[in-house]
Structures are given as structure tokens and as C-alpha cells.
Structure 1
Amino acid sequence: MDSLNRKQEAVDLSHHINVKSKSRHPSPLKEIIKFMGYDGMISLAGGLPHPSLFPLDRAKFDCLPPSASLGDQSRETDLVSLNLGRGLSPGDLDLTQFLQYGTGAGNQQLIQLAQDLTEQVHAPPCHYECLLHPGNTNAWSKVVGLLCEDNDFVIVEEFTYPSAQALWIPLGIKAAPVSADAEGILATNLREMLENWDEKLRGSRRPRVLYLVSVGSNPTGITISAKRRREIYQVCVEFDLVIVEDDPYYFLQYPGYSPQAEEQPYQPKSTGDFLKSLTPSFLSMDTQGRVIRLESFSKTIFPGLRLGYFIANPLFTERLLRATEVETQDPAGLSQAFTLALFNQWGLMDIYCGFRFTVVSAAKSPLPTAQGHVACLQDKENGKLRPVFSFVDPEAGMFVWSKFYFGGVARFVELEAQSIEDPEQAFAQELWEAMVAELVLLTPGSYYHAWQGPDKASTKARGLIHDLPFSVFLLLLQR
């Protein structure tokens, strides 16, 4: 706890809190709960069912050890058991506290574990607090409810997670997309957009929120480099932006890809080596308290937990707690109990550093400006290479982002001649349907276009027409 006391004070960011969030008050019923734990308290308040009425008395979970290798045929014999119960012999963890209503912040032991993990992995320079939430989708919804007003703009990557947009589109909020290269969004482009923002033309104030999936981006698979993060952070300081770091894939970072590399046997890393291999987070360089980090256990344990936590400036977590009290209350008690018991059994870092997932370069292709690698067909007569698709080899996460090139393809030429409003999208839809017919399922890249309003729904309107037309698809990496 001494390290938390030595943190820098955040700058005043209270002006970022929107009108709705400023008007929130603590739930009076949640205020009562903290007194119910007093020894000898006779509680006639709150409407809490008596624990003797709960039908669940004991639960046992057989789990893999953190050193287990996926595909290991002997792993069934190496299971470790988590025993949760109630009464005089509760086992590894007393279930009673997790079956009752909570305070909204979450179980204090689990919050302390989140703080310990945050210190070990990120060591934020500024004061922060952790607050549990039921998954990053809900967490982002609460952040939008904290920071954004109706008809605002949110800065996002050129291609961004569709569910992140779907929740704010009904509020009249639009995306202000920033292009990216292999190291992430370009700080120079971000600065240029903010410097030249015309409130009259845009019909809205300059954006004040930057939303990023900064490691293993969904969908592009890009991880923002440490150098680029520092550049982006400086722009955010200069233009007073809050960075929302949605990072469910942070612990799924991979070594660099090489087509010539031989497959290596799985070797768990030591905690120190594992931490050194991770790209520094925005949180780790946040000297002003302007980063709200969304952590999730969905990708490192399993998605059905619906459990994660905020790491943020106490100014923000206090308002987020007020929303939690009246919107979702605590995350599911059994999810909290299972996660705490698993960490107690496995250890704080073993869950991450032990349980890991185990063409032509662009520069030599007809598309030297493409990112990653390009697959080509070679003309038998003249030897020229014709690009078919390119892909970015993921440094983290679960996705491969591919561009399919169809300039000169006969069917695409036909569609262009028919004066279709969006021939690129029409051809991409036909291509997708043809792949489905062959039992190959990809996610259309059109799902990830930044929503800039109904007047920018077509490829041409978004300014994405190129000399060599292409469409994008997302491939899911199976863990």
C-alpha cells in the first residue's frame, strides 16, 4: 500500500464528467449494507434474504493448473480443485458473502487482488482505484454515460469494435476516425484533426474522448508501440482528452511472426521475463489521471464469467460506482467467488504467464505500402505478381485482419458498370456469401467501419476509394 500512497495527484478533470453523471447520488440502500456486517448487528433493513434460505451450499470446480499446455493428453490427471462452501467447513472460500447483495464496488478481497496486479504489471504514476464491473462491454457503456453528451464525437481507430459504437449511435454520437499504420493510430493525424476541428461544420464540440483497443486491436490485430503511445499521450495532454484503454487482450501478446521460424515447444516464462515482454500500457505512463483502463477476465479465464475491473482516477471511479449501484449492482457473486478462489490457488501472475496460447513480405509485393504480408498469384506468361489478399500478422489478441484485392476481377468490373452505389461492398458481400457456401466463415470488415453518420455509409463517402479496390475481412484465431 505504500506504493499507492506515493502516487502523483491527478490534474483536475472534473469538467469531463457529463451532466447526467454529475447529477447521480449514492444509492441509499447501498449505504445501509456496510453497517450490516457489524458484529452483533440485528438487521431489519435492506430487504436481504436470510442466508439460510439460499439453496446453494457447496460447489467444487476442477481446474487446469497454470502450467497446463493446451492439447496435452495427460492434462485430465493434473486438475486442481477449488472447494467453495458455507458454514463451519467452507473449504477454500466461504460462499456466503458472494450469495448476498453487495455494495456495488465488488468483493474487497478481489479489489485488493486487482490493485496488487495493477501495481505489479502497470505501476501507474498517478493515484488510482479499482472497481469491479460485469465485463468490458458494460464497462464501456458506463464510461460513455460518464463522459459523453448526446451528439458528441468519440475518437476511434479507422476500423473499430462494432459493439463499442452500437451503444452510442442511438445517442447521436458519431466517430471521429484516425488512420493507423503498423504501430497504431498516427499521433500526427490525431493532432491535425484536433487542431483543425471546426465546431460549426461538425455541429459538435471538439472530441474529448479517445477510445482504443491498444493491444491486439479488434479487428486489425495491431498493437500500439510504446513510442507511439507516448506520442499519443502527449497529444491527449495538449488537447485535454481522456483515453479509454479497452484492453482485454493485453496478456495475449505474442513474439514476432516469421514465415521461416520453426515451431518451438511451449515454455512458460518466469514472471519477470513475462512482464518485460509486454508492451507498456497507457496507464503505466499516465502522469495526469486521464486514462480509464478496462480490464477483463473474459479472454484469460473464460467469457461467461462476465467479470472485469476499471482502473482509473478516483474522480472517475466514484461516479462509475454511483452508476453501478443503480444499473448493474455487483458483478455476479459466483463469478467473483470462482475468480478469487482461482487466483488464490494459482497465484497472482501464474494465471497470465503460465497459461498461454500457443507468403510474400509486403515490401517485395506489388503493394509495398501494404501492412504485413501479401499473398499473390503469379502470371505464367510474364511472371508479374497479382495481389489477392494481404494480412497483418497479429502481435496480440485473437484476430487476423485481411484485405482482399479485386481490382480487375471480372465480376467486380460488372458491378462497377451497373452504377451501383457501393460496388466494393456489393462485391464483398458476394465474396462472403461464396465463402459461406464453401463452409468458410469470416466476419465482414464492413462491420468495423467507424460510424460517422448516415451520410458516410458507403465506401466512396468515407473516402476509402483506392487505385486498387479492396475489401476487408476478419479471421478469428482459435485459441
Structure 2
Amino acid sequence: MFAKDFSHLYSDECNRRVKDKLSNLFLLSQGENVSFLGNGLPQSKYFPWQSVSGTSPIPPFPNGIASNDETKETTSYEIMKNDLKNSSIGASGENSFNLARGLQYQAIEGQPAILNFIKEHLKLIHKVGTHYQDWDVILSLGNCQAFDSILRTFCNTGDYILAEEYSFSATINAAKAQGLKPVSLKMDNHGIIPEYLEELMEAWPKDLKKPKLLYTIPTGQNPQSSSLSSERKQQIYNILQKHDILIVEDEPYYFLQTGEYIPKSEREEIKFNNQQEFIDNLATSFLSIDTDGRVMRMESYSKVLAPGVRLGFIAGSAAIMKKLAAYHLMSIMAPSSFSQIFLNELLQTWKQSGYIDWLIGLRHEYTLKRDGTLDYLLENMPKEFIDNDVVRINPPVAGMFFTIDINASKHKNYNGDKIAMEEYINNKFIEAGVIVAPGSWFEVGSPDEISAIKKIDDDGYIFYRATFAASDLPQIQEGIAKIIKVLKAEF
């Protein structure tokens, strides 16, 4: 089977793009006895790096991925300017590239060695290729840049897009800056409510263009840390399939799945007997159930390796990836060669099995931090706050965040203005020396013409997003203690 044709959804900008004829010169240069005088490529002898080197831990990380440097087993590698044979320990043959090659202008899609690794990874984790065979991958600078590329490829000024009721503000602001109209979808503790989506689309005014796409953070949702179940994903997919709407799944937190929170008194450490058991335990992705080629999956190495790598990828139908590559040709060109070189060396050294070992270790670390955070929060939050609906605590099952819901109407000075109360409490947190993110900062909202037909009811609560990722457990507990102290003083 092949992916469906979604060219009818391309933006005017996408349709106006033309292929740069200069790119054909690279293909012509591959022949024998060719004198290449076509493009302005600086010779590698003018690159001021003779070699770069790095040291990385070795799988299977028996002491854990967060063990002290002194106890880690490591491997070192050096990438030379011209010598491929001796330039690398982990990467070899077609999977390696020296600096002379790596620091030259790159393939827009990304280095083939990295792309091949990612494709094997996607087959292993998401069974990509099961439903349609013409799929592909393109590198990005991370998910914000990837989403910008997708918006410019599919959306025109004035188009509608669907998003969760609360969502990552940077991506929503990027959409608004392009003149798009985000429409919010009601959520509960498990993510988007499919019934709400279905009712909205059935009531969608006939004189308005339907949304081009759904933007969703399905796993460890930011800010609310909810995760969509397999059942809900299939329901949502079916609804959007019926209305010919694309799906953009933003998954930076996918491998930070921690499972249901279990109270300390009942908890047993979860260990996977083998890698396949870990893989089978992961959430079903939209990409894995996609039969049409309407899903674009964005992943980033920012949360699983390091934010400063500035590398990620988009996966989906080959036809759509070609359109995204055409935009990259005139915008970012390709991600940094240094980032690609070091990422490739790491992944080729670890291989698929070692990378899975790293992800298993990462899950273990984040589960410990999630559990320690929730243990302290639930043990120290006054019971009467929970019993009297002053506070709701929502244990996350994935991601980096947890939220605390506060019933604004319970405050003695509440006058019906939730935003004012949210700001007041937030200022009290700041005065107490703890920094969190107010929930309204993430509110998507809907245009008036959509709110008129389908409005999200207000339950009277405000919420704050906090993270257990940025600090060690003692510092997290110190911050929670400050939050509780403020709540005791105010409620």
C-alpha cells in the first residue's frame, strides 16, 4: 500500500516553491572524470579543524545512566579531517564520515547514516511501513522548527488548526504569528476528549474551511502531562480521517513514560526483563496506526540526549517529506554538521540495542524523580485541601511536569476573575522563592466564530505547571514545601 495524496491540502506558499536548479549540479558531479566547477564549495583544506573527539558511556550502563563519571565505562572516539579508516571507533564504512565530508554543505534531508539509524529505530518502535511503504524521514533543528516547516507547507493565513485546550505556548504562538486560528479541544486527565472533537467537527459551520491539521502532544502533554490511550488515539484518528484533517504528533517526551503513579506503600520497582518488553510497554503512537500517511511525527533529541544538540526529525509520507525538504532548502538548509557528526558517532557506537538501553535507563531515572516528587507532595499537602476540593493533584504518567489545580472560588478574596487570582497566587509563589508556570500562559482559546458553536465549560479551577526535571529531588521538595506554605497562608 501507498500513502494517500494530500497535495490538495498544501499551502499557497508550498505550491509556489520551485526546485532550485543548482541542486541538480551535485548529482551531475558524481560521474567519473567530471570537472566540478558548478557550486561554491570551499575546499576542506581551508576548514580549521583537524579533528574532533568525544567520550561517551558504554551500554548497557550497568550502574545506571546517571552514575558518577568515575564509575562509568566509557569509549572515546576521534573524527579526523581526511582519514575515514582511523577516524572512528563506533562508525565505519557507509555509516561514518570524516570532517572533510561532514563539514561541507550537507544533504538537505540529513546525513544518510543518521537517517538510516532513525528509520531502523522507527521500524523497531513504531512498526513504520506496516500500513504504507512510501514513508521517509527528514532531520530538523528540533520540534519547534519542525512545526514551523509543517505550518508553512500546509497552512495559509486565516486557516484553522486544532490543538489541545492547553498547549506548548511557543508552537501555538508560532501558528498565530503566521495568521492561523488555533481552535482548542477540551481535555481531561487523559488528554483530548474524542467525543468533544467529534461534536465540534459535526457542528463545524459549512461556510468555514475545516481545520488543516491537529497539533497534539500525546505523551507527557505539555503543560498538563496527560497521555492519550491507544483507544483514544484510534478514535481521534478515525474522526480526523473522516474530515480529512492531518495529524502532527509532537513527541519530545515519548521515552519519558513513567507509568501510573503507585503510592509508596504499594510500590514495587518495575524492571524490564528484556528490551522487547520495554518496547511493548511503550504507548501506541499515531504514526503506528496511520493507514493514510496523514500523520507527521516530530521527535527531538533535546529531552533524551541534550537540548543544545538542536537535532530532531520528522517522519511521515515520502511525498510530504519532499515538500518539507524543499522548504528547508530555502530556510535552514540542514542541521549543524557538528551536531550530526557527534550524534552519528554516538548512535553508531551504541547501535540500536545500546540506544534502547539508554532509553530504559532514562525511564528509570524519570520514574524515580516523578515518584519522589509525588510522594512528597501528597504526604505534605494538607488532607483538608484535597477533601474540600481546594486542591487537585494530577500524577503524571509521562513527561517532565506535574500540575496543581487550585479552586479559585475557595479564596476569601475571589471576585470571579480567575486570571487575577492566578496572578495573585503566582506572585505569592515568587515572593516565597519558588518559580512555576501559570496555566493561563498555555491556554489556546478559540476564535469567536468557533466558541459560538462549541464552548469549553469553565470548572472554576486555575492550575500551575511545575517540573521535576530541572533539579535534584531535595531541591524539588524544597520548592514544593514553599508552594504548600503559600497555599496554607492563602486558603
TM-score clears 0.5: yes
Shift of 1:388: 3.2
Shift of 1:30: 2.5
Structure-2 separation of matches of 1:75 and 1:280: 38
Whether 1:158 and 2:153 are equivalent positions in the alignment is: no
Match of 2:255 among 246, 251, 258: 251
**Which AA in structure 2 matches 1:90?**
S
Structure-2 change in CA distance of 1:39 and 1:335 (3 Å): farther
**Which AA in structure 2 matches 1:48?**
L
Whether 1:407 and 2:409 are equivalent positions in the alignment is: yes
Partner of 2:182: 175
Helix, strand or coil at the partner of 2:127: coil
Partner of 1:365: none
Say whether the 8 Å CA contact 2:249–2:297 is kept in structure 1.
Answer: yes
Shift of 1:131: 1.0
Describe how 1:277-296 pairs up with structure 2 within 5 A: 277-296=281-300
Match of 1:51 among 31, 44, 47: 44
Structure-2 separation of matches of 1:106 and 1:297: 15
Structure-2 change in CA distance of 1:310 and 1:71 (3 Å): closer
Structure-1 separation of matches of 2:70 and 2:251: 29
Helix, strand or coil at the partner of 1:168: helix
Shift of 1:79: 2.3
Partner of 1:82: 77
Structure 2 unmatched ranges of 5 or more: 90-95, 366-376, 471-491
Structure-2 separation of matches of 1:144 and 1:14: 14
Helix, strand or coil at the partner of 1:287: coil
Coordinate RMSD, CA, aligned: 2.7
| Mean CA deviation greater in 279-288 or 269-278 | 269-278
Helix, strand or coil at the partner of 1:190: helix
Structure-2 change in CA distance of 1:444 and 1:313 (3 Å): same
Describe how 1:37-76 pairs up with structure 2 within 5 A: 37-38=30-31, 40-68=33-61, 69-73=64-68, 75-76=70-71
Match of 1:142 among 136, 142, 149: 149
Structure-2 change in CA distance of 1:137 and 1:269 (3 Å): farther
Partner of 1:388: 390
Describe how 1:180-195 pairs up with structure 2 within 5 A: 180-195=187-202
Partner of 1:444: 438
Match of 2:10 among 6, 17, 29: 17
Structure 1 unmatched ranges of 5 or more: 1-7, 359-371, 417-422
Q: What TM-score do you get using the length of structure 2 for normalisation?
A: 0.83
Shift of 1:335: 0.7
Structure-2 separation of matches of 1:298 and 1:191: 34
| Mean CA deviation greater in 328-337 or 392-401 | 392-401
Give aligned-pair identity as a percent.
23
Cα deviations by residue, 1:315-370 (Å, 9 ceiling, x for unpaired): 21111010010100011111111111101111114224433141xxxxxxxxxxxx
Structure-2 separation of matches of 1:384 and 1:249: 29
**Which AA in structure 2 matches 1:433?**
N
| Mean CA deviation greater in 403-412 or 48-57 | 403-412
Partner of 2:238: 234
* Number of positions where the alignment pairs a residue of Structure 1 with one of Structure 2: 440
Partner of 1:31: 24
Partner of 1:311: 315
Say whether the 8 Å CA contact 1:214–1:224 is kept in structure 2.
Answer: yes
Whether 1:112 and 2:119 are equivalent positions in the alignment is: no
Say whether the 8 Å CA contact 1:154–1:208 is kept in structure 2.
Answer: yes
Structure-2 change in CA distance of 1:465 and 1:192 (3 Å): closer
Structure-2 separation of matches of 1:452 and 1:46: 48
Say whether the 8 Å CA contact 1:174–1:451 is kept in structure 2.
Answer: no
Partner of 1:364: none
Shift of 1:67: 3.6
Larger helix fraction of residues: 2
Partner of 2:139: 132
Helix, strand or coil at the partner of 1:145: helix
**Which AA in structure 2 matches 1:252?**
L
Shift of 1:25: 1.4
Deviation >6 Å, runs of 4+:
372-376, 454-457
Cα deviations by residue, 1:240-294 (Å, 9 ceiling, x for unpaired): 1111111111111112211235676685662211110101111111111111111
Structure-2 change in CA distance of 1:287 and 1:454 (3 Å): closer
Shift of 1:156: 0.8
Helix, strand or coil at the partner of 1:410: coil
